[in-house]
Structure 1
């Protein structure tokens, strides 16, 4: 672990994607393959055209903007391998997806179809489906950061 990573995380440890003792669910238990593919693609945007500052990243439950990029890779891998995610990680994934899709200031926004190859209309329909399916899992984080 680099000194920068140790500075970002209390105790010097980079948090696991799913924390021990947290009840997690795999994507296949909750979502269709297309919905999982959408979330994975949205997370990829944070390492590319999306622009996030530290304050927004913290609001999404990450330590800072670099932690968002680092964890986005871990979360993408976990979704791709169908490993269970803790409820806080599902909240991070959902909020990061919502912001990267919609926001033109911080996310991909109007460039979404160009950078992802996914049209807006089917994306929003799929995102609404994901929101409904994850509502019970992420409900404890409504109105607060998954990092709290």
Structure 2
């Protein structure tokens, strides 16, 4: 399986909502930071926001993603939820309290790991603009 081959990961509705809300923060409370564009292997701000829209649509509509874009979706959610430097951190604006969000995020991490999805996918040889 390649980094760009589409795979469907079975997530619960709560897991899907957590990812959706985490990614959606980049269109809301999180101010754009170029470090996230670079971390995702993207060339510019416009491509970053196009990816955000693509991920929100796919996750919201239960569509499969590439391994690369699953890695991006989880990284974006982790950063938006936890980081006060480049994410929402304490201002994470969802209906998930920390005591509910933490086990959900861990469950998502375990599920993507079973598909061989990890941070190595974010290194340049795996990254392209589309994922």
Q: Which band: TM-score by shorter chain?
A: 0.7 to 0.9
2:5 aligns with one of 23, 29, 49 = 23
Q: Where does structure 2 lack aligned partners over 5 or more consecutive residues? A: none
Q: Where does structure 1 lack aligned partners over 5 or more consecutive residues? A: 1-20
TM-score (ref. length: structure 2): 0.82
Higher relative CO (Cα under 8 Å, sequence separation at least 6) belongs to: 2
Whole-angstrom distance in 1 between the partners of 2:50 and 2:4 = 21
2:99 matched to which residue of 1? 121
Whole-angstrom distance in 2 between the partners of 1:138 and 1:24 = 12
Q: 3-state SS of the aligned residue for 2:65?
A: coil
Aligned length, in residue pairs: 125
CA contact (8 A) 1:53 1:64 kept: no
2:60 aligns with one of 70, 74, 80 = 80
Whole-angstrom distance in 2 between the partners of 1:62 and 1:73 = 14
- How far is 1:83 from its partner? 1.6
TM-score (ref. length: structure 1): 0.73
CA contact (8 A) 2:68 2:122 kept: no
